[in-house]
Structure 1
């Protein structure tokens, strides 16, 4: 039965399976250029359903998460229809294109071997992004006015993508597992302990250097979750470790960390004003919101008189942004989508521990990555960032791709 347990690693893939994997991995490997990622995703959207003929049972593995995604899409369309400006809101339907990453994963990936390979691709991409960002220090970047952003257009995109990849790498360090034997030199090199350690160090250095406080808080909460769930004895070591990090960190990093909870920080107060304005929007149209894409232009109507900015691009909180634009129905669907993926990963982790076999590290990585993403969403509209959303949708699908096909 589908979902009864982790799938034993299949035999080496045939040409058709290799093409399906490559088609799906391409939009993630090319996130450094959104136009290129869009093109490869369009090719995958057209080609994967054709190349995956006869794989209807593969889709059935993901019924719970697909149901949540379908509700999210339905409420998006309903919010557009109910919008005060349907013409403007209609542009937001383009999000459905990226949401295709979820069902396409179920068509392209089968079992532990291919899931591990996709995580390896993300690790390589994350390492390259991190190196790009760290290299920007050589060109005068690194302070608040010129924050490192790697190959992306904004530092929030940079940190958002690295955040998800980071927790996948952390889980592999906590529960090291080689997985099925690989013959290819590339896969063996990527999975070498030295390669994984290097990737983990570079990604975390880049995350720290991005000066993105939401990502720092998210990493801390996710790591605490890992420690409490996996090794509670290590809790006593976290405070000394944090003190060592603070002592060794550059002064701008420490100052940035100490400003996280300060209302004297202008950006913190600005975010509180955004939450207040968002709450007013929700109270006006609670079910379907004021309309997708309308927060930016209508913010001046709802803002406090003391708010630092007259207009904002978004509300810097994924949950408030969705509730304000699309209503509480869409917010419920989004929480259900993330929660379904987390619960499936958690069940997979417990099953692997109980049976003493299976990809426990993959399930742990998905659970930790989703926790980190959810926490970061309290401080930034990361769900609205296309590159970040695509990585998260791929990660959401992974525990379902590990289910048995039957």
Structure 2
């Protein structure tokens, strides 16, 4: 059963960026790996009569679940409340399960490798769609190109955790090409922040960065030569969309801020931003009545109130602090440095996207907590003979 847990853990993170493809096959197929993981984990722990090892992240997740349930109960009649609450809860549960299994049965590098593999496959699918279907922006398995960029950029730093050389280089080119083909400005900013962090920590060799830039330049020249007119059309469309996005996001952020001010205790309920946006924005967007906020932090604050946002921010802050502690004490800091850079990419990209409903944020939180538990356990074992 341990092998099954390992396989299901890797499958859960692997299929996350491929959700759109799975939904085309069946509406609930994307939920199968995490559901099986939770079930198998519960059976395994019950068989061994072993509870999960406690970690401070568990307290924050539990408190966040309490606020979520209270907000759900307070706004039970909302059009989207139940559906969005039931989107939140699985992420909280899966995070708890991932913390436990990655701290015990599943190697951290295996989880990171599966994350990268899923993102690479998503990038290949998106680039293939551009070539064969004439898409102007890479979207592939996800409806929004910006969401695809989020997955690809978040996965890119994790390549540092692999011990091989040739395969990560090829995967990096595919991920960067896929992210560039989305024309996502948020993705570009997130990638820049992650690279800057790795350079500051001396985890990314300048030679490797120069090689990546050169490879991307070659791909850019090839794209201009082979698909110049299509690329020009895509850039014009993106420029037009970009101007509109700036205006609409400002309207949505203002509406979210009003919701926080009007409902500070428990927010407007899960999914309440979509339902309350027309009223909060005074019907600012006639053609879009139920959008997302395109800012994870404002949307969480609007829907779960100040306590919910405080707990959500505390989870991110705790993860940052714990990751730095792990980096300083672990004998192999490269994987955690890669995770830190990926977290930075997630935090930056989420300023422009509502990404609390995608796995990368939660899986990275789980990996950091699991790495902390592994180190704590190793330290206890090392200290045991001295105590005796």
| TM-score, scaled to structure 2 | 0.80
Deviations 1:311-355 (A, max 9, x none): 242111111111111111111111111222222222212223xxx
Question: 1:155-183 CA deviation, whole Å, 9 max, x = no partner?
Answer: 233222222211212x44xxxx63xxxxx
Asked if residue 346 in structure 1 is aligned to residue 339 in structure 2, the reply is no
SS in 1 for 2:300: helix
Deviation of 1:133 (Å): 1.0
What does residue range 5-84 of structure 1 map to in structure 2 within 5 Å?
Answer: 16-31=1-16, 32=18, 33=22, 35-53=28-46, 54=48, 56=50, 58-60=52-54, 63-83=55-75
* Aligned mates of 2:152, 2:275 — CA distance in 1: 30
What's the CA shift string for 1:160-218, capped at 9, x where partnerless?
Answer: 2222211212x44xxxx63xxxxxxxxxxxxx311111111101110110122211111
Instruction: Report if aligned partners of 2:183, 2:238 keep a CA contact under 8 Å in 1.
Output: no
2-structure distance, mates of 1:311, 1:86: 15
Higher relative contact order (CA 8 A, sep 6+): 1
CA distance in 1, matches of 2:143, 2:288: 23
1:368 aligns with 2:368: no
In the other structure, the counterpart of 1:150 is 140
Q: Distance in 2 between matches of 1:214 and 1:152?
A: 16
Deviation, structure 1 residue 367: 0.9
CA shift in 2, pair 1:112/1:120, >3 Å: farther
Determine the C-alpha separation between the residues in 2 that align with 1:258 and 1:141.
Answer: 15
Structure 1: runs of 5 or more not aligned? 1-15, 179-191
Aligned to 1:397: 366
Paired residue for 1:219?
A: 191
Instruction: Give the Cα separation in 1 of the matches to 2:295 and 2:359.
Output: 18
| Contact 1:17/1:108, CA 8 A, preserved across alignment | no
1:79–1:288 Cα contact (<8 Å) kept? yes
For the Cα contact (< 8 Å) 2:78–2:272, is it kept in 1? no
Deviations 1:26-76 (CA, angstroms, capped at 9, x unpaired): 22233322522312221211121221344746532xx11111111211111
- CA contact 1:130–1:202 (8 Å) conserved in 2: yes
Greater share of helix: 2
- Quote the Cα distance in structure 2 between the aligned partners of 1:18 and 1:233: 35
Superposed counterparts of 1:3-402, under 5 Å: 16-31=1-16, 32=18, 33=22, 35-53=28-46, 54=48, 56=50, 58-60=52-54, 63-83=55-75, 85=77, 88-94=80-86, 95-110=88-103, 114-143=107-136, 147-169=137-159, 171-172=160-161, 178=163, 192-230=164-202, 248=221, 252=232, 265-303=243-281, 309-352=287-330, 357-358=331-332, 360-384=333-357, 389-402=358-371
- The structure-2 alpha-carbon separation of the partners of 1:281 and 1:113, relative to structure 1 and needing over 3 Å to count, comes to closer
How far did 1:309 drift? 4.8
DSSP 3-state at the match of 1:315: coil
Q: Figure out how many residues of one structure are paired with residues of the other and give that number.
A: 354
RMSD: 3.3
Q: Do 1:101 and 1:390's aligned partners in 2 also have CA atoms closer than 8 Å?
A: no
